[in-house]
Each structure stands twice: as C-alpha cells, then as structure tokens.
Structure 1
Amino acid sequence: MGHGGDVIAELTTDHREVEQIFGKIEALPPGDSRRKLYADQAIMELVRHSVAEESYLYPAVRKQLPDGDALADKELADHATAERTMKDLEGCDADDPRFDTLMMKLMAEIREHVADEEDNLFPRLRTACTPEMLGKLGDKVRTAKKTAPTRPHPSAPDTPPANKLLAPGVGLVDRLRDMMSGRGKES
C-alpha cells in the first residue's frame, strides 16, 4: 500500500502488485471461490490507487504539462469506466456467470490504463517535474492511500477539492465494512 520513493515509483509498484493479483486470478479455474477473494483484493488496491491519483497525480499533470487538462481528463475517464466495471464485479461471486466476463473486462481496462500511464504519462511527468516535486507527490499519494475508500463509488466526485474532503470519511466506512465482513482477507 505504501512503498516509498517518488510518485512514479509508488504508482508503478502499485501497478505491479495489481498485476500479480490478476495473475493469481488467471491461474485458478473458473468458479473457484479464491477468484472472488483475489478480485476483492484487486478492487481494494485499485480504488485506493485511483483515489490517490485523482487527488494528487492528475492535478499535477494539469499544472505541469502543456496538454495536462486533456491528459488528466482521459485518465479520469479511464478510471470512471473501470470503476463501473468494479462496481458490477463487486456484486458477483466467483460462480456467477458474469464474473469471468467482468473480470476479463476489468483486467483489460486496467492493463491498457497502466500501459498508457507508464509509457506516456509518467515519462512526460518525470521530464516536467523536479525530483523534489515528484518526491512530495509520492508522499501525498502514500498518505491518501491510507485513508482512501476500498470499494468503488462511481458517483463520488473524482476531482479536488470535493474528492479530498469526502474520501477519508468514505474510506473509514469502507474499511469498517471490510473488517466486519472479512472482505479481501484469506481465511
């Protein structure tokens, strides 16, 4: 959840962790209940990651890159699409006929988004920002992930200041629900 380093290192590590979870899902046979456990873990990580990006990375993109508004808007649109898929997936058990279709859709959406960030956005941001700026953004992202929601909330605001104000409260409720239900935990 918090790895250290600048914002690009932090978010890239998150990407690798989610990809490892996707690999665990792909290695299991359809209908295996562990697929749902891993899907919940992936969703928890993806939501925290997205909230942190929306709060700090994309505002920096808007400010630091000449076409930052268009880039940030595209990334937010990607998040909105994936969040709707995660919301649909959240209501499915591993043996639900829709589970595999939704899971494959989510993995494709996330993999495309990650490739775009790592191949295009991150290199441009690294060129435009000082190492100090990227380091401070990394600290902010790590802090945001600690209190961010863990469940998809497609109708929640995705831009500052509203998202920064609401995310910690929603995150607290989500973490309490996760704790009480055991969501995302291996037995």
Structure 2
Amino acid sequence: MEPGGDVIVELMADHRELEALFAQIELQPIDHPRRRVLADRLTAELVRHTVAEELHLYPVVRKHVPHGAALADKELADHAGVERMLKDLEDLSVDDPQFNDTIAKLKFEVASHVREEERELFPKLAAALPPEKLDELGYLVRRARETAPTRPHPSLPNITPANRMLLPGAGLVDRVRDLLRTTTG
C-alpha cells in the first residue's frame, strides 16, 4: 500500500487488501500448500491492522466520537474473536477440514467487522475530527503497522496503556521468528 493518507483512507486500503487475500485463498485448490502461505500472510496483515487500530484508532474513538466507548468496545470484542480464530488457524494444515471452515468463518467475521467500521464508525470519526487529526492518525497507524506483531497473541491486552508496552516486543519476536522461518525453510 502507498504511504500517506488519513486514517480512514489507510484503514479502508487495509480492508481492500484483506478482501483480496481472502479471494486469493479461495482461488487455490482446497488442499494446495499455497493456501497455507496465503493464510499466513492474511494472518500477519490482519494482526498488524488490528494492532494499529487498537493502539491509535479506538482510543481516539472513545474520546471524540459520540458513544465512542460502546463503539470501541464492540470493535475490540470483534478483534478478540478474530484473533482467537487466527490462533486456531495457525496450527491447522491445509489438508485439515477445519482449515477451510476456519477460513470461511474468519472471512465472514472480518467482512462483518469491515462493514460496521466503514458504514458506522468511519463516518462518525470523520464528523468528529478535523482533517489534520485524521492525517495524524493515518501516520500513527502506518507507523504502528511497521512494528506490530505478525502473529496472533490472544493473551496480550488489547487496550492501552498495557498494549503500548507489550505489543512492540511481541512484534519484534514475531519478525525474528518470521525471518528464521523464511531462511530455514
């Protein structure tokens, strides 16, 4: 994705990328090893996206959007459910029937979450914040994705300030693990 843009533009670009990854997975034969590669990439992108939202978007939503606390709580609950599914998916091989079931459930949950954000949360956020604040949030989201974990960590907190302290370390560990995985095999 090209850098730049306000937080809504950034997150909507992420949403389109996630949709494209789901479509690529679906184009592969059912037990093809490429499905695992794509599922791992989907996992990394979803985790990076949700971490960026949890670190920067939802605290602002709580503070500036009418009824923002309830909206943020709903979104965080959605994230927790998706993260549990991603953790389950991590241990499944492509020839396990649960792999395809988990992908289908995950796609449904992510699509529902995306619709809610784009139809409800983003318009309220745009109405509540000036363009320069949306741009600043876009920058923070981009930066957060650079250091965010690439694997699900359902036991880590998803609310600030605890996540601000713990997620960068988990991100570093994940990136080392990813690097070792690609160099060894």
* TM-score, L = length of structure 2: 0.96
Unmatched tracts of structure 2, length 5 or more: none
Match of 2:122 in 1: 122
Can you list the C-alpha shifts for 1:74-94, whole angstroms capped at 9, x where unaligned? Answer: 000000000000000000111
Q: Which amino acid aligns with 1:33?
A: P
* Change in 2 beyond 3 A, CA 1:105/1:121: same
Q: Secondary structure of 2:97's partner? A: coil
Can you list the C-alpha shifts for 1:3-59, whole angstroms capped at 9, x where unaligned? Answer: 310000001001111111100011112111111110100000000000010000000
Once the two structures are superposed, the pairs formed by residues 14-53 of structure 1 within 5 Å of their partners are 14-53=14-53
Shift of 1:65: 1.1
Can you list the C-alpha shifts for 1:112-162, whole angstroms capped at 9, x where unaligned? Answer: 000110111001100110001100101111111100000000010101111
| 2:146 is the alignment partner of 1:140 | no
Shift of 1:66: 1.8
Moved over 4 A (4+): none
Do the aligned partners of 1:87 and 1:153 also contact (CA within 8 Å) in 2?
Answer: yes
Distance 1:176 1:48 in 2: 15
Match of 1:64 in 2: 64
Q: Secondary structure of 2:77's partner? A: helix
Work out the percentage of aligned pairs sharing the same amino acid.
55
Match of 1:78 in 2: 78
Match of 1:55 in 2: 55
Q: Which amino acid aligns with 1:13?
A: A
Q: Which amino acid aligns with 1:46?
A: L
Match of 1:174 in 2: 174
Distance 1:3 1:40 in 2: 23
Q: Which amino acid aligns with 1:62?
A: R
Shift of 1:2: 6.1
Q: Which amino acid aligns with 1:169?
A: G
Q: Secondary structure of 2:170's partner? A: helix
Instruction: Report the RMSD for the aligned CA atoms in angstroms.
Output: 1.3
Q: Which amino acid aligns with 1:134?
A: L
Q: Which amino acid aligns with 1:162?
A: A
Distance 2:54 2:2 in 1: 17
